Amino acid sequence: MSAPAQIRVRDLSMSYGPCLVLERVNLEVEQGSFCTIVGASGCGKSTFLRLLLSQETPTRGTIELNGTALPPEPTPDRGIVFQRYSVFPHLCVEDNLIMASEFEAARWTGRLFGGARKAAREAVRDTLDRIGLTAARHRYPAQLSGGMQQRLAIAQALLKKPDILLLDEPFGALDPGIRADMHELLLGLWEELSMTVFMVTHDINEAFKLGTRMLVFDKLRHDPHAPEAFGATVTYDLPLTNDRANDQESTRPSLDELLPSRPHP
Amino acid sequence: MRITNRKPSRPTAFLLGLIPFLGVLIAYAVASHTRRLENPADKLLPSLADMGAAFMRMAFEADRRSGNYLLWLDTWDSLWRLGSGMLISTAIALILGISIGFVAHVRSGLAPFVATFSLIPPITILPILFIIFGLGEVSKIMLIVIGTAPVMVRGVSQAVMDIPREMIIKAETLGASVWQMVTRVVLPQTLPQLITALRLGLVPAWIFLVSAEAIASTSGLGYRIFLVRRYLAMDVILPYVAWITLLAFIIDRLLRLLSKRAFPWHHLKGDSL
């Protein structure tokens, strides 16, 4: 734990008008962590992710990446997978994957032609293989299943070799069986690329299974007459053992135990 | 099975589509026949044969005075005006629509103006156009542009704004510049909507075309209709209306086909009209 923090969040607050969503979030994350983020709906998990992406700017507080403040807009050093709309519907699988190199190589057309295009397609062949979409490489995203689309989205997010990968409930719409496959794929890529991952999830088991660290977002204070008066913060910051083989589901706390402030129905 | 869960086969669908057309045709033939029984010289509802003859005359007999084949001359002139107007409108819609939809500062600057401008009844501008541009082609084309462009701009900018924000952000994380986002993400996803805007814009475009031709012109489908109105020549007017409708229908279908061919990804889910 002596390594200098890659990401340092200081006194972060975020409000939309009178609605305080996040309040005084303080956090330090080392390079290579796999942080899973859980919490009740509407507690600001996704907002926190959007702040890390610079999709939005915090009302108060700062986020530092490797000692410097985050740039004010999304950049290639932070990849993102959303729950939906992550891939480009007007491009086939293969063209979705060569997009990043096209942006880099062709400043004005943003497009590669002829031999260069062929080479770019050749270069993503391994990636296609890895995500099991070789046979589907000429199909449009709308012709893929949900799992295939998210595999494509993950591969696309990793094209620029980002330091940080942000995942906003990426498997929320998938079947449990497909989820397990996606977990394997994601863990493999994470170990290989030594990047930092932040993953918002609704599924506490997923959070335990994948993370090296689990962040629970919740409100510390509640005003029943003005629910928007107080924001959420990190109420639990659990280091998780990486010993996935011996992980026992039965010993895990449930989300209800981690969110004591919620009124139980 | 419930009617909402049943789908007609292709021949059935075709026949069902044919029924209203046949219905109107038969109703007309009956009405025309009844009127002509009372007065064989009736001009209001000429027989189908009379109309056919008049149409053939307009299409394949040279006009005695000018030596032109009037139907084709009128069609060419009208389509040329319509095409030029819609080309300009489409270009304006594309450039302004994407700028307004994609760049918030342009939107703040131009959206209220475009919205206001689109509410001006275009036909009220026609006298102004005649005064400024004279009675030639420019004023007619300008009327079509003024009448269709603002609405098309609004349609396209809405289409741009409807692109999920996630996709724009994704492009940013892939290292795209603003220009690259416009050309590789926004433009391709907007083009199908542009064709839709064009198809919708063509409806008022025909109205403005015919109005302008009716008021000040020496050729064109609208001019001809309003010219022969003086002689109560329903046998020419009705075929001309049908001809205009047919042209509009063919253009609309061609645009739809273009959209399906050029943007197959846009038509993957669900039927579209």
The number of C-beta contacts closer than 8 angstroms across A and B is: 84
Region B105-127: mean pLDDT is 93
> Does one domain contain both B91 and B215?
yes
Q: Residue A74 has what pLDDT?
A: 92
Region B90-118: mean pLDDT is 95
pLDDT digits (tens, 9 = 90+) for A175-206: 888 888 889 889 988 988 889 999 999 888 88
CB contact (8 A) between residue B176 and residue A86: no
Region B18-24: mean pLDDT is 96
Q: Which residue has the tokens 């084309």?
A: B141
Region B107-134: mean pLDDT is 93
pLDDT at B91 over 90: yes
**Among candidates B169, B180, B269 on the partner chain, residue whose Cβ is nearest the Cβ of A103:** B180
Question: Which residues make Cβ contacts (< 8 Å) with residue B256, sequence separation at least 6?
Answer: B195, B199, B272
**Among candidates B164, B183, B268 on the partner chain, residue whose Cβ is nearest the Cβ of A140:** B268
**CA proximity to A76, closest of B141, B126, B71, B175:** B175
Rounded Cα gap, residues B224 and A49, in angstroms: 65
Q: Residue A263 has what pLDDT?
A: 52
Check: CB of residue B233 under 8 Å from CB of residue B54.
Answer: yes
Distance from CA of B104 to the nearest CA of A (A): 15
Q: Residue A34 has what pLDDT?
A: 92
Tell me which chain A residues have a C-beta less than 8 angstroms from the C-beta of B175.
76, 100, 103-104, 160
Check: CB of residue A210 under 8 Å from CB of residue A36.
Answer: yes
CB contact (8 A) between residue B173 and residue A157: yes
**Among candidates A90, A103, A162 on the partner chain, residue whose Cβ is nearest the Cβ of B188:** A90
Nearest CA in chain B to A160: B174
Encoded tokens for A215: 């962040």
Does B176 lie at the interface with A, CB-CB under 8 angstroms?
yes
SS3 B95: helix
pLDDT at B272 over 70: no
Q: Is residue B273 part of a domain?
A: no
Encoded tokens for B122: 């275009």
Q: Is residue B53 part of a domain?
A: no
> Does one domain contain both B186 and B134?
yes
Lowest mean pLDDT among A66-75, A88-97, A256-265, B98-107: A256-265
Tell me which chain A residues have a C-beta less than 8 angstroms from the C-beta of B165.
55
pLDDT at A132 over 90: no
Tell me which chain B residues have a C-beta less than 8 angstroms from the C-beta of A49.
none
Check: CB of residue A153 under 8 Å from CB of residue A189.
Answer: no
Which CATH number is B88's domain given? 1.10.3720.10
Type of residue numbered A248: Q
Distance from CA of A254 to the nearest CA of B (A): 31
> Does one domain contain both B74 and B193?
yes
SS3 A164: strand
Domain containing B25 equals 9-45
Q: Is residue B202 part of a domain?
A: yes
Distance from CA of B271 to the nearest CA of A (A): 15
pLDDT at A141 over 60: yes
Rounded Cα gap, residues A54 and B42, in angstroms: 76
Region A201-214: mean pLDDT is 89
**Among candidates A53, A76, A85 on the partner chain, residue whose Cβ is nearest the Cβ of B175:** A76
Angle A91-A92-A93 from CA coordinates, rounded to 5°: 120
B39: region left, alpha or beta (phi > 0 left; psi from -120 to 50 alpha): beta
Distance from CA of B194 to the nearest CA of A (A): 15
Type of residue numbered A242: N
Residue A1's pLDDT band, with cuts at 50, 70 and 90, is very low
Question: Which residues make Cβ contacts (< 8 Å) with residue B68, sequence separation at least 6?
Answer: B62
pTM score of the predicted model? 0.85
> Does one domain contain both B19 and B144?
no
How many structural domains does chain B have? 2
Q: Residue A264 has what pLDDT?
A: 45
> Does one domain contain both B126 and B17?
no
pLDDT at B197 over 90: yes
Tell me which chain B residues have a C-beta less than 8 angstroms from the C-beta of A141.
265
> Does one domain contain both B29 and B81?
no
Query: Which residues partner with A198 through β-bridges?
Result: A35, A166
